[in-house]
Amino acid sequence: VSESTVPLVVAIDGPAGSGKSTVARLVAERVGLPHLDTGAMYRSAALACLRRGVDPADSSASVELIRALTITVDGAMVTLDGEDVSTAIRTPDVDVAVGPVASNPEVRAELVAQQRRWAAERGGAVMEGRDIASVVFPDAPVKVYLTASEEERARRRSEQLGGEIGSVAAEIARRDHVDSTRAADPLRVADGSIVLDTTGLSIDDVVTRIAAMVDGARSRAQATAASVRTADDASPAADWPGSTAPRLTGVDLVGSGVVGRSLYRALWVVAQAANRGWFRARYHHSDRIPKTGGFLLAPVHRSNADFLLVGNVTRRRMRYVGKETIWNVKWFVPIANALGGIKVDRGTADRASMKRCLEVLEAGEPLVLFPEGTRKSGPIVEEIFEGAVYMAVKAGVPIVPVGIGGSGDAMPHGAKLPKRIPIDVVIGHPMTIAAGEKSSSRRAQRELSVRVREEIQRCFDEATRLSDARRRGEA
């Protein structure tokens, strides 16, 4: 299957005011795909019913009318039988009439068929609506469900279209209700859709995030075309090239002695008590951690508690890469050293610490490195440190992405003591460079780093969802 015959569809669904239209338009521009607002088609159909006096509840009459219409959508320009209706479809009358029209299964079947043709003819598209990921293109490689709090959505709508916020909120709530309770293809989060709550996120954040998913989908499509391994068919640990690497002798690894090992074990147990007792931490998919051989653990980093939390993903002893400032804390230096911590000087292209990391990985030992560089905040996984990918590839070991949900709220920047918030840790698929690719290829490494970032984000989203659900359960 060549890439050009598989339409790259970016499906964006969500309720009114979730920011779909703005986001879909900008994503389309950024990734170079055409954009289709399917809501405009349902609106045009409703407008036609209003004008011809056809009762939308009269199913056969409205289907007949709609089959005879020619609706075109080109960016913001919408025509109905050749007439520009771009503004006429955005009136309150149409807002009210569109629900019943869109609830008619035959109308939907007709418009869905048109939407599929539209995207297929163009080899892909960014499509926004209510049922794109669930019905129109369930196999779309990128599926996003955008949402935002009710207040936020009402605020956006009233800024965009005017109107007093209370009545806008009521209208949105009414339309949400109609759209999500109708029998035919109701608004819902489709299987496999990534839920993006945009409350408090900037438009640019959201667009960047979806554009990164499109990048990932494109590299996956290329990878599939070259029939190479992706994260999804990750093999058990024993298959990974690094896992059978003999323990190198003669390499002097700090903290390998009895003192270092005992201290690690002792701290591991203390960490476990804290993680269990205080955070009630749950670890999901721990079986994905390779049982032997080196690997690079790549967790998201939102809190100082993360060091403690990731320590318990496995009983295997892992070494940590830490920023140099940790070594400024005098009392901690002997501990960090005994633990075999690797100091990285972020200001420079620190060759010495890269070399240490490689030694550890090549010796078949696991290494923890937070690839975002420093502690970040917010729900978006930022650009990751490509040196991490380079090292893992060079050592021939997999990268294991990790998402930690709840730690940012439990112990935000500046907090001295952690709050008692349930934490979920989700371990992702071990990832490695595509088979058949030269490990020295810059392109292949770049591609892996895009996929790793995506997988960390996926794990982070899932972990956050799990932790939030437990918190709500408690509230």
| Separation of alpha carbons 416 and 304, rounded Å | 10
**Shortest distance (Å) from residue 10 CB to ligand C5P:** 14
Instruction: State the DSSP code for 193.
Output: P
CB 262 within 8 A of CB 404: no
**Shortest distance (Å) from residue 60 CB to ligand C5P:** 19
**Shortest distance (Å) from residue 179 CB to ligand C5P:** 5
Q: Which residues bind ligand C5P (CB under 6 A)?
A: 16, 38-39, 42-43, 98-99, 102, 129-131, 175, 179
| Separation of alpha carbons 366 and 299, rounded Å | 13
Which has the closest alpha carbon to 295: 392, 166, 428?
392
**Shortest distance (Å) from residue 203 CB to ligand C5P:** 17
Tokens 């390779």, residue located: 290
**Shortest distance (Å) from residue 118 CB to ligand C5P:** 12
Residues facing 368 on adjacent strands: 297, 320
Q: Which is nearer to ligand C5P, 129 or 430 (CB)?
A: 129
* Residue 64: Cβ within 10 Å count: 12
**Shortest distance (Å) from residue 182 CB to ligand C5P:** 8
**Shortest distance (Å) from residue 121 CB to ligand C5P:** 18
Q: Which is nearer to ligand C5P, 112 or 459 (CB)?
A: 112
Q: Which is nearer to ligand C5P, 138 or 379 (CB)?
A: 138
Structure tokens at 107: 């109308």
- Chain centre distance of CA 396: 26
Which has the closest alpha carbon to 42: 116, 129, 126?
129
**Shortest distance (Å) from residue 145 CB to ligand C5P:** 13
**Shortest distance (Å) from residue 192 CB to ligand C5P:** 17
* Residue 280: Cβ within 10 Å count: 16
Give the 3-state DSSP-derived string for 120-170, with helices as H, strands as E and coil as C: HHCCEEEEEECCHHHHHCCCCCEEEEEECCHHHHHHHHHHHHCCCHHHHHH
Q: Which is nearer to ligand C5P, 175 or 451 (CB)?
A: 175
| Separation of alpha carbons 455 and 70, rounded Å | 42
Q: Which is nearer to ligand C5P, 104 or 312 (CB)?
A: 104
Q: Which is nearer to ligand C5P, 107 or 344 (CB)?
A: 107
Q: Which is nearer to ligand C5P, 100 or 290 (CB)?
A: 100
Helix axes 351-362 and 386-395, enclosed angle (nearest 10): 40
Three-point CA angle 278, 283, 288, nearest 5°:
155
Q: Which is nearer to ligand C5P, 105 or 236 (CB)?
A: 105
Tokens 């080899």, residue located: 123
Q: Which is nearer to ligand C5P, 160 or 272 (CB)?
A: 160
| Separation of alpha carbons 303 and 413, rounded Å | 7
